[in-house]
Amino acid sequence: MIEKMYSYLNKDKSKEILTDKVSFSTLLEKLTKPLLNHYSEANTQLKWGNREVVYNQHIVGIEGFSRVLWGYSSLLSCNDEFSKSQTSQEFFNRTVEGLKNATNSSNTKYNWEKPGDFNQIYVEMGAISLFLLFNVDKIKQCFNKQELNDLIEYLSNINTHDFSKNNWQFFKVLVNIAIYKLNKRKYNEKYLFEALENIEKCYIGSGWYYDGRPNQKDYYIGWGYHYYGLIFNYFMKNEYPEIASKFTKRAILFYEDYKYFFDINGMQIPFGRSLIYRFAASSYFSALALNKIYPNGINELKWFITKNITFFTDNKENFDDESKLNLGFCYENHTFLEEYNSNTSPYWALKTFIILALDKKDEFWKAEIKTPVWEKQRKIDAINSIIYTTPEHHKILFNSGQYAKFNPKFNQEKYTKETYTTLFGPSISSNYLENDMQLYLSKDGLNWETKKMPLYQKIEGDKVVSIYKYDCAQVKCEKWFDLETNKINIVYSITGEETEWFYSFSAILLPTFKLFLNNKELKETIFNTKNTSLTKKDLRIINVKSDEKHNNKILKFEYLLSKN
């Protein structure tokens, strides 16, 4: 699998050129047209295959139905040749028919199930609400009074049930502002403010939220909290100007930190969960553009959007034989998927196409792109981490340590590694001792553990410092990047009741990279791929694993990113 992990580095690509509304609309159609073959008879479901997830296949079909709307809701709002294209009109007609059949109170044959507490359907209501918000007048023309009441009644289930106090609260916001726009008599402000109160509890300052729990801050802050907050501003700034202004100010504050998560190729640092959403990472930038907010200029903002999208769409490994998005990041990979990732889940990425609501003559489409200027080091206090920009403009996140308490698959590999980098794709091995940039300890050499929730995490000067409790020891980790030597330094100080332990540590190396432990170079390669037609790179995994118990109090790793 390691060969495929790096295939994107030198893979031959068919370059997608994104500039104007024509090219963006054409790409959206290219990404979604294959999905038209997979609607159900009554257009209430859109799905293929039968991959098992934590929700039933009925809801998978609702997910597929709704996720295309992240892309088409905005496009259909414009009265131009793009919204009137055959493909756009077919998606619009199928969506309208599907919504009517799914919520029809007099003929329940094709109805969607009524959601209870903590139901995935509430997530999908977000995209449906966006479709309604962008197309209010068309919806009122297409739905009679009873049909519209049925639809509002179904969406209103979100107001009377419990669900996660995280980014999901914004789906309740979107549903209620959609109801407001469709029928003010059906609108109850109480439900909007319930959700807004929960969202407010997650805000920690400097443009950052946490996603439901204080130690969870990942891409959901950008493609979730800020994306929806900017949608609120777009539609409700006249009705609720103070709330809308608050969301936009926070989104602007977030920009200067978030821009450091992307490298010179437009790839985001592969950190955290839900990486199969790919270019949804740039949807935050698109939501800024929708609102004509350009924190560092329109040219730089457009660079992030176009480069991030094309980084993924230029790679044929991201598509199946029918040209549908597959389950993966830079290639199909089911190992690192979440328990909630169905075959239709990747179309969350279409959120980035919200800019298609802009008129074809808007300045955004005419703007040239401008490569960002990144400082060599960006300290992000909100996540107690530092992002370094290498001389080649790759990114390295020095991670203080997070841990998702709901425990997604490969939780530690996604959240607790010492570093994450755009030098490589997501690295998750079913043999956990091969997972890179993690210290494993063991009392007996058979049962291994790595860190979970940190006891302490902070930026101290130019170092990221964390303290963790293992069963057999307490570990203090200090890490920093030497800009002069291009070297990652990681120092573990180990204390505890146990006086001896086994340890294991791995790293992924390009040919010129070197790994040292306590000043001694490590050369024990556990996996190696020579110059192949696939990777065109020599890559190897280095592992150091103690064969017997050690009492080393200090383990100092030096990871040299040498070009020579």
CA distance linking residue 258 with residue 301, whole number of Å: 12
**47-65 per-position pLDDT tens digit:** 999 999 999 999 999 999 9
pLDDT at position 509, please? Answer: 87
- Distance in angstroms between the alpha carbons of the first and the last residue of the chain: 27
One-letter identity of residue 380:
I
Tell which residue, 87, 92, 63, 96, has the closest CA to residue 277.
63
Structure tokens at 420: 């994450």
Which residues are bridge partners to 421 per DSSP?
396
Q: What is the DSSP string of 139-159?
A: HHHHS-HHHHHHHHHHHGGGG
CA distance linking residue 435 with residue 543, whole number of Å: 9
The answer to whether 557 touches 489, Cβ cutoff 8 Å, is: yes
- Between the alpha carbon of residue 82 and those of residues 21, 24, 77, the distances in Å are 9, 10, 10
The answer to whether 170 touches 126, Cβ cutoff 8 Å, is: yes
> How large is the C-alpha radius of gyration of the chain?
24
Q: How confident is the model at residue 5 (pLDDT cuts 50, 70, 90)?
A: very low
The answer to whether 84 touches 93, Cβ cutoff 8 Å, is: no
Pairing of strands 395-398, 520-522: unpaired
CA distance linking residue 487 with residue 483, whole number of Å: 7
What percentage of the chain reaches a pLDDT higher than 90? 80
Mean pLDDT value across the chain: 93
Average pLDDT of span 324-349: 96
Residue with tokens 């029918």, as numbered in its chain: 322
CA distance linking residue 192 with residue 137, whole number of Å: 22
In the chain, the largest separation of any two C-alpha atoms, in whole Å, equals 76
The answer to whether 231 touches 167, Cβ cutoff 8 Å, is: no
Structure tokens at 44: 């209430």
The answer to whether 130 touches 73, Cβ cutoff 8 Å, is: yes
The answer to whether 287 touches 230, Cβ cutoff 8 Å, is: yes
One-letter identity of residue 531:
N
Q: How confident is the model at residue 168 (pLDDT cuts 50, 70, 90)?
A: very high
Q: Does position 12 have pLDDT exceeding 70, yes or no? A: no
Which regions of 105-236 does DSSP assign to beta strands (E)?
A: 203-205, 208-209
Sign of the C-alpha dihedral computed for residues 428, 432, 433 and 434 taken in this order: negative
Structure tokens at 73: 């809701």
pLDDT at position 525, please? Answer: 67
Cα 495 from chain centre: 36
pLDDT at position 465, please? Answer: 98
pLDDT at position 527, please? Answer: 55
**Backbone phi and psi for residue 562, each to the nearest 5 degrees, phi listed first:** -85, 145
Q: How confident is the model at residue 538 (pLDDT cuts 50, 70, 90)?
A: low
The answer to whether 223 touches 286, Cβ cutoff 8 Å, is: no
pLDDT at position 428, please? Answer: 83
Structure tokens at 280: 């949804």
Pairing of strands 514-517, 385-389: unpaired
Q: What is the DSSP string of 233-248?
A: HHHHTTTSHHHHHHHH
**220-250 per-position pLDDT tens digit:** 999 999 999 999 999 999 999 999 999 999 9
CA distance linking residue 535 with residue 531, whole number of Å: 7
* pTM to 2 decimal places: 0.95
Cα 538 from chain centre: 29
Structure tokens at 69: 């709307």
Structure tokens at 341: 């990732």
Other residues' Cβ atoms within 10 Å of the Cβ of residue 251:
24
Residues constituting the chain: 564
Structure tokens at 361: 């003559």
Q: Does position 260 have pLDDT exceeding 90, yes or no? A: yes
CB hemisphere CA count around 530 (13 angstroms)? 0
Q: What is the DSSP string of 278-304?
A: GGGGGHHHHHHHHTT--TT-HHHHHHH
Report the number of secondary-structure helices (H) and strands (E) in the chain.
Answer: 18, 18
Give 380: exposed, middle or buried? Use CB within 10 Å, 0-12, 13-18, 19+: buried
The answer to whether 179 touches 152, Cβ cutoff 8 Å, is: yes
**445-497 per-position pLDDT tens digit:** 888 999 888 999 999 999 999 999 998 889 999 999 998 899 999 999 998 77
The answer to whether 492 touches 504, Cβ cutoff 8 Å, is: no
Q: What is the DSSP string of 508-546?
A: EE-TT-EEEETTEEE--EEEEE-S-TTT-S-EEEEEEE-
The answer to whether 422 touches 268, Cβ cutoff 8 Å, is: yes
